[in-house]
Structure 1
Amino acid sequence: MSNNNNAATKADPEAEEPTWPELLGSNNWEGLLDPLNLSLRKLVLRCGDLIQCTYDAFNNDENSKYCGSSRYGKASFFNKVMFEAASDYQVVSFLYATARVGHREAFFFHSQSRESWDRESNWIGYIAVATDEASSALGRREIYVVWRGTTRNYEWIDVLGADLESVQSLMHPPHVSAAKQGNDGDASSSDSDDDNEKVPKVMRGWLTIYTSDDPRSQFAKTSARVQLLTKIKGLIKQYQDEKLSVTLVGHSLGASLSVLSAFDLVENGVSDIPVSAIVFGCAQVGNKAFDQRFKSYPNLNVLHVRNTIDLIPHYPGHLLGFVDTGIELVIDTRKSPSLKDSKNPSDWHNLQAMLHVVAGWNGKEKEFELKVKRSLALVNKSCEFLKDECLVPGSWWIEKNKGMVRDEKGDWVLAPPGDEDLPVPEEY
């Protein structure tokens, strides 16, 4: 009898409403993915929309002296990117990153102007908190950390390289490999290899972007890591009498940073509240030892929304010592009747295309059918993936006249940001 009841529950995604911890992965999303639970579907879409805000706000025009910054300040951020739930959240902090690696132009943008706002860093995300009104209605205070992906082409991932690097600098207490503790500091080659596999490691590129600082920059004097840890611990103290959750979200490069920073938060003391990463198109982050240490924390979870034909999640590869981290929600953009039969790998990796499919995903064996209202035109915000008969122009999210205005002299110039949108260094 109980088996029949369980079958009925699994057949109906709304048969039993999951708790908030369950939506954040406390039970590894068991019974919520196939079929896709409606509440989880809405949460995944909300996370995706928060990520999209970073793409919509990012200034990648190298003619502008504000290239590499957010076009919009924190106070009006959600309204200016037309985020549907703008009244429910407030941006409390911007995150900035630099990277001391060669060829950083592959993923960072810099202005050609001599009057550039900052030559050493880029805006790479934000931290948002649910408003008092929204928190009261939800019965909890949501904290979101949103990492921006790259708007460059696929070359960025090759430039970063696939070397594994120990995360001992993130671990608490600092981890010392067994190979360094042998007799008189020596170890045999085989022992060293065995010990080496036990050391949690991640791709060097992710770690470099996350932990690099630059004293020449007003915005990245401290690393993105220090900015994040400082702000999150402050928010936890500020809302210590409330039920809290921290959700880190990202797509592409931002997805990898979300997994790494979620691990870092829990590794360094965020132990009594749920910490989840909900990510899209995430490359592999670390080795088996990293994955095992990640799994050892009961309050730490990852849900990876992966398009089955997307190439990025297979990189860098198992042969190089990398493994997948987290639970997967595997979708297939080929299921949607509105999308072209594209041969462009960038389309397979496109965030809005994934969100469109999540909205109508009913499993591998069932037909695509929208379960929530979502504008089809969003797919073409930065691509041309929709079929021509949809009559939606490609890459339509752009600044009016590409930011050009006519000044009082009658000349056409790039409009400067308003005072509330000027880049301002964060205070910690």
Structure 2
Amino acid sequence: MAITLPNMVLSLKGHRHSTPFPSKKPPPSPLLRRKNLFQGAETPPPVIPKVLSKTTGSMTSIIKELDREEQKEKEEEQSNERKLSDYWREIQGQDDWVGMLDPIDPLLRSELIRYGEMAQSCYDAFDFDPFSKYCGTCRFIRRRFFDSLGLTSLGYDVTRYLYATSNINLPNFFKKSRWPKVWSRNANWIGYVAVSNDETSERLGRRDITIAWRGTVTRLEWIADLMDFLRPISSDKIIPCPDPTVKAEAGFLDLYTDKDENCRFCKYSAREQILTEVRKLIYQYPNEELSITITGHSLGSALAILSAYDIVETGLNLTDDGRAVPVCVFSFSGPRVGNIRFKERLEGLGVKVLRVVNVHDTVPKVPGLFFNEQVPKLVQKMAEGLPWCYSHVGIELELDHKNSPFLKDASAPTNFHNLEAHLHLLDGYHGKGKRFVLSSKRDIALVNKAADFLKDHHLVPPFWRQDENKGMVRNQEGRWVQPERPKLDDHPPDMHHHIKHLGLPSDS
């Protein structure tokens, strides 16, 4: 009678977990039993029919593979037993993630995915439909932000929405409504500031202040909008820096520091909004362990790095009792932000940056396509005075979408840049050269939420995330209309107080 290979494997697995020979002695360990089965030992092995001798090699490899899977699951369980509250400083880059990336630390992986989801929420909540009269806003009220996105388990409360003015040279970053009467002609919602609640803070081991920046929702056209030249950070006397050779990309600086006195949402710059909110939260929790974590994807990643530098350069992360609140950036698929002096200054101030990139994505390769940190030191030295010589900052974690068996090999470059794809790659990444295995069973369907990247046999429709009826509802007369939304949050009334206390120049 023929015995199939799967049945044979099950039979052998049964041998591994039973006592093959009657004895008063304790049963041999699974490892010893496997040795007896396949390597020979003093204990005679079980009889294997001759008809199966040709499949022994295959069965051996299959069982070894099963053993590796079991061992990996045990290691994951043991790692997850560690309390995040005991290791949060290492996760936030206290030691520059030495020994935590290859193989990747499971706690670090889960935290990267968690902050990546907070960056992704900026896309999921953004109204970018030009036919909406609220185009350019967040679709949800601040107090129900995470609830509306199904992210209640994060355990954070959004304390402030962030806005920027569109009067800069990055038009594809902004979205405008076609309606004649709109909420604002010059403002766009660009992210939020949130703080962990009591329960989450206990689990994290500290009170975490998170800033999440929105990236661009238009494919990759924004790259063409980069002015692509470096400007001294201190040139406008807005961001203090004692070194005039520290430079950042001009478009990023404009987006971060510009404001519009005639717009109620942009009468304060994004910089002023962030610094005042962070200051308020630090003083709100004076006797607690704190951290400041900033996250963003794409262009939002550049703004995350710039704002992290600003917070530390201004000394905003210093408490009254002299403690320095650690500042960490988890960047996803971000471009270069500044020159080599910017890199040296930022890292010298103690800002920790971990950049997650897909090696096939073009965005992390710009600006500075020809003069960057990868050219020889002599060339860097010769080109450091040029307005096009850039350098990445921090530590890089390289991922490769070709390692995932779920993703298409040939696809559009925009898919290589997709944030949900990066989170999928993180979930399956265990280290360089190691097999891609999903660790948290994160739903692969999320990859196709705003992309066409999953292999067709998974039967997940591309670009499946849609607002029901595109936000249209029936009114009392039975007509389909756009519903009114609650009044948009304005700036808090104590802005002047915090701006004055920080010594920020403001005419508002």
| TM-score range normalised by the length of the shorter chain | 0.7 to 0.9
Show structure 1 runs of 5+ residues with no match: 1-11, 178-198
Deviation for aligned residue 1:395: 1.2
Contact 1:255 1:279 in 2 (8 A): yes
Return the letter of the residue paired with 2:204. Answer: L
Residue 147 of structure 2 corresponds to 79
User: Would you say 1:152 and 2:218 are equivalent positions?
Assistant: yes
Partners of 1:19 and 1:116 in 2: CA distance:
47
Deviation for aligned residue 1:398: 1.6
Contact 1:120 1:216 in 2 (8 A): no
Q: Give structure 1 regions of 4+ aligned residues with deviation exceeding 4 angstroms.
A: 12-18
Return the letter of the residue paired with 2:363. Answer: I
Partners of 2:447 and 2:484 in 1: CA distance:
29
The equivalences for 1:219-298 within 5 A come to 219-269=265-315, 270-271=317-318, 272-298=324-350
SS for the counterpart of 2:335 is coil
For the aligned residue pairs, the C-alpha RMSD in angstroms reads: 1.6
The equivalences for 1:322-337 within 5 A come to 322-337=390-405
| Higher relative contact order, chain-length normalized (CA < 8 Å, sep 6+) | 1
Contact 1:99 1:208 in 2 (8 A): no
Deviation for aligned residue 1:118: 0.7
The match for 1:394 among 455, 462, 487 is 462
Return the letter of the residue paired with 1:265. Answer: I
User: Would you say 1:118 and 2:184 are equivalent positions?
Assistant: yes
User: Would you say 1:209 and 2:255 are equivalent positions?
Assistant: yes
Alpha-carbon distance change, 409 to 346 in structure 1, aligned in 2, over 3 angstroms: same
Q: TM-score, normalised by structure 1?
A: 0.88
Superposed CA deviations along residues 351-399 of structure 1, whole A, max 9, x for unmatched, are: 0001001001022311100111311111111111111111111112221
Alpha-carbon distance change, 307 to 63 in structure 1, aligned in 2, over 3 angstroms: same
Contact 1:97 1:224 in 2 (8 A): yes
Residue 360 of structure 2 corresponds to 309
Deviation for aligned residue 1:176: 6.1
Residue 124 of structure 2 corresponds to 56
Contact 2:167 2:186 in 1 (8 A): no
Residue 89 of structure 1 corresponds to 156
Residue 202 of structure 2 corresponds to 136
Partners of 1:137 and 1:52 in 2: CA distance:
22
Partners of 1:264 and 1:73 in 2: CA distance:
28
Partners of 1:356 and 1:204 in 2: CA distance:
33
Partners of 1:54 and 1:273 in 2: CA distance:
25
Superposed CA deviations along residues 38-66 of structure 1, whole A, max 9, x for unmatched, are: 00001000011001111110000111111
Superposed CA deviations along residues 244-275 of structure 1, whole A, max 9, x for unmatched, are: 00000000010000000000000011240110
Partners of 1:370 and 1:89 in 2: CA distance:
26
SS for the counterpart of 1:310 is coil
Return the letter of the residue paired with 1:315. Answer: V
Deviation for aligned residue 1:92: 0.5
Contact 1:165 1:203 in 2 (8 A): yes
SS for the counterpart of 1:96 is strand
Percent identity between the aligned chains? Answer: 41
**Equivalent pairs, count:** 389
Deviation for aligned residue 1:84: 5.3
SS for the counterpart of 2:209 is strand
Deviation for aligned residue 1:139: 3.1
Q: TM-score, normalised by structure 2?
A: 0.74
Based on CA coordinates, which of the two structures has the bigger radius of gyration?
2
Residue 426 of structure 1 corresponds to 491
Return the letter of the residue paired with 1:213. Answer: K
